[in-house]
Structures are given as C-alpha cells and as structure tokens.
Chains A and B, each alone.
Chain A
C-alpha cells in the first residue's frame, strides 16, 4: 500500500483556513463572505417510512468544519477527515459539474434565524430535487431539503441555532495528531464502471485494507464504493437490516446524513457510503455488480425465517 503516515499534516489545513479568514477577505470584491459560524443542525432522513434524526453541533471556519454528535466529533475539510480515532487526507481530487445533470436557479430567500438568505433550487428537469437556503453573509446552509423521486421529502437539514464560532475547532486541530495520506490510483474498470446511473467516477483512492475507494458524484449527491476481500464484515452492518432493492438483497444501515449498503458479488465485498436519495440509490445499485444469490441453504433459510 502506498499510503504513508505524516505527522502534523493538519497544520497545512490550518494555514489554509487562516488564508481564507476575514482578514484577507476584504481584499476581494466578489467574495465578501466571512465563512466563520457555529450552530446546531437538526437532520432528519426518511428511509422506507422510518425516520432517523440527529442533532449536530457545527463549527465552520473557512473550508474546515467541526461536527460533533453524542460526544463523538470529526473535523472535515480540504480533502481530509479527522476524528478521535485518527485521520486521513486525500492526495488530490477532481470536480464534476452539477450542470451536467441539474439546472440551478436562485433568488433572494426569506429570512431564517434572523439572517438574510439566498434560496437555491436544484432542478432535475421540472422536478425540484433539492432546495438550499444559504446565509448570505457566511454561506452557511441554514436549511436544506432533499426530495425523493416521488416528490416526498427525503432529507431535511435545519440549523436551529446559529452564531459565531468559538474557535474550538482550532484546539481540536492542534490536538488531532497524525493522518494517513491516501493516494489516487487508476480505476479498475473490470470491477466497477466509470458511470453509474448518471454518477461519474471523480476519483479513485487506495484504502487501508488494500482495496479501492471509488468516489462517484453527479455534482450534487455523491457516494463512495469500497471494494474489499470477499466476506469482509463491516461492524455495524453485520446486524443491519436486510433490504430488497431491485429484487436483490443488501444489508443497509441509514444515519440521518448518509446511508451504508453492503453486499458480496463474486469474490468482492462492496460497501457503498453516500448521501443519495432512495430512488437514485436503487438506480445506482441496479448498475453495480449484483449480489451473489448465496447457496441453496442460505436461500432456504431466508425463505423460512426472513
């Protein structure tokens, strides 16, 4: 594996944050936003009629965001992610423009939390796939709504309190230690396709377990597919619900912000992690390698006991 351990790589991120701080923002005419804020965000997602919800403490400075829920925290930004268990940073990435698939329209939005907002609607044809209400001064997404293909609300994210950052993020960054650097590698197109249900491969990275992380995006939503050795088990997914999607069986676990799906096909175990709505998830899974059906006894067991 070509990853290598680097000490204090987060300092680079810290420097970059400082460069986008308000002190330098005044030099630019077009970007007046001071991207420093904190608050509490409530996210609710609905999968198969069952709602899951989370309350997240958010602290945002420049391109870095500190997120905390139920005593666990992570810092995300600039291609890196750090949590209590360590961190990793990605070496480079590419961009997929959402205008390939969606149209965007924006207008002045109604106020939220006493803040002037900008309403951005993302349309898929005539269908409003998502709406965002951004705080004009900071660019913070105060309210986000994502709709499923049947026009039902699938995910709602709302800031219920909002204010200035208290700079706790800086402390966490300085205390967070080491990161693994994950290198870009070529896509093994024998295993995964380059385009899946309108999602394109943006980047491919190695993983610590020796497999690949293939990052797909349509510019709005995204998901990673991880390839693992056959029969690798993923801790929380072992007992996750078995769901039938497009006549194939998968194990699925949904949090308010992302969904995980795992299955085994041929000699590869796959884990999909992403924020795609249910209708698009079904389309995506339909174009990825299909789960192996299992042996006779496994199928018999499934019929007998569900």
Chain B
C-alpha cells in the first residue's frame, strides 16, 4: 500500500518555534512555511493546544492554616461546639481532611463526650438519695458511683475500640508502582500493534 503521509522537515522545528529557540533563518523558514502548509498548520495548533492545556490546569488553593504542619489542639473543643469565629470553622474543617493527627484527636474528643453523655444523670442520683434518707444502706453512696464509673469505662473502651481499629504497617506507594510497571513494560503500545506497525514499515521504507 502506498503511503500518503506528510513529513515536512519544518515540522521538526515547530516545537523549538513555540519555545522561541529558533535562529533568525530558521524562524523565517518556519513562518513562511506555515503560510502554505496545511498539515504543519494543523500540527502547530495541536502542539500549541497541548501546551496551553498544561498551563491552564486548575491549581488547588489551600489556606496556610489548613496545612498539616499546624495543629489545632485546644481549639478542637471549640470546633466541636461550633464556637470558633465564623471564618475559622471551614479552615479547621479543611485541615481535618489533610491532618491525621488533628482528625484522630477530634475523634477521640468526640468519643469522650459521647461517653460522658451516656453517664447516669447526677440529679437523679441526688433525688434518690433524698427519698431514701431514712433507709440505712449496707454500702451507702459508693455502689452507685462505682457502677457509674464502670459503665463509663466500658462505654469509653467500646467507643475507643470500635472507632480506632489497629493500624497496620505503612507501605510506600512506589513499591506497587514499580512492580506494576515491571509487568506493564512487556505490554508497550508498540508491541501491542506490532502487526500494524510492521505493515507501515513495509510501505514506508
């Protein structure tokens, strides 16, 4: 099959042209050639489009305070209570997405509050004490508090256990990339289409 591909020598200069790296003579050659060669014009626009796309990629704007090297500590309690200044709340929220340390701290803080909320109400105990004041208990007061403490400890233990599963070893992402890359290397595009490219070789000596 006869080949009808277009292969101008000027095409090799287009990349350098976009980089402003051509000599005066080369520049004249390229500019005049681009006036006449439709294939090179198409190629030039494709190259320029690829570069423009690269330059116009969106950039992620992250406030400085959201970066993981700053930690919130004491302010986490205020965050949970919704008591931070209006502008600060979303910054802390964004920080949580990046910072394991603060996220775990917040999680533990919230779990502790949940445990506290599950304790028996103090008022109820006091009322009962008032009603039963004429009865002499075998072990006054102490049993209730021990039971409450045990209950609280159990709740805290359950919450902590359920919320924080033991974390395993850390493996570097590169390990998987390298091993996958090794296998992928025998499946290169050129090897996939060897028959099609061999046919092209024959028709384009």
* Chain A positions near chain B (C-beta within 8 angstroms): 30-33, 35, 42, 44, 50-53, 55, 63, 65, 74, 76-81, 83, 85, 87-90, 93, 98, 104, 106, 108-118, 120, 132, 134, 136-137, 139-141, 144, 156, 158, 160-162, 182, 202-203, 205, 207-209, 213, 215, 217, 219-220, 222-224, 226, 228-239, 253, 258, 260, 269, 271, 273-275, 295-298, 301, 305
Contacts and interface: CB of A to CB of B under 8 A. Distances in A.
Contacts of B172: 85, 234-235
B199 interface: yes
11 contacts: A65-B188, A77-B185, A78-B186, A111-B7, A111-B39, A144-B189, A160-B47, A160-B51, A208-B175, A222-B184, A235-B171
B54 A53 contact: yes
- 8 A-B pairs with the lowest CB-CB distances in the bound complex, closest first: A114-B11, A114-B12, A231-B168, A81-B182, A116-B5, A106-B196, A139-B190, A118-B200
B166 to A, nearest CB: 6
B192 interface: yes
A233 B189 contact: no
B196 A81 contact: no
B59 to A, nearest CB: 11
Contacts of A226: 176, 179
B205 A32 contact: yes
Nearest to A297: B163
B72 interface: no
Given A33-B197, A141-B190, A160-B15, A237 B162 contact: no
A258 B177 contact: yes
A8 B168 CA distance: 34
Interface of B: 3-16, 39-40, 42-43, 46-47, 50-51, 53-54, 57-58, 93, 96-98, 100, 107, 111, 159, 162-163, 165-190, 192-193, 196-205
A260 B176 contact: yes
Nearest to B165: A231
Given A182-B179, A233-B168, 9 more contacts: A35-B190, A51-B57, A111-B6, A114-B9, A115-B12, A217-B187, A229-B168, A275-B184, A295-B163
B179 A110 contact: no
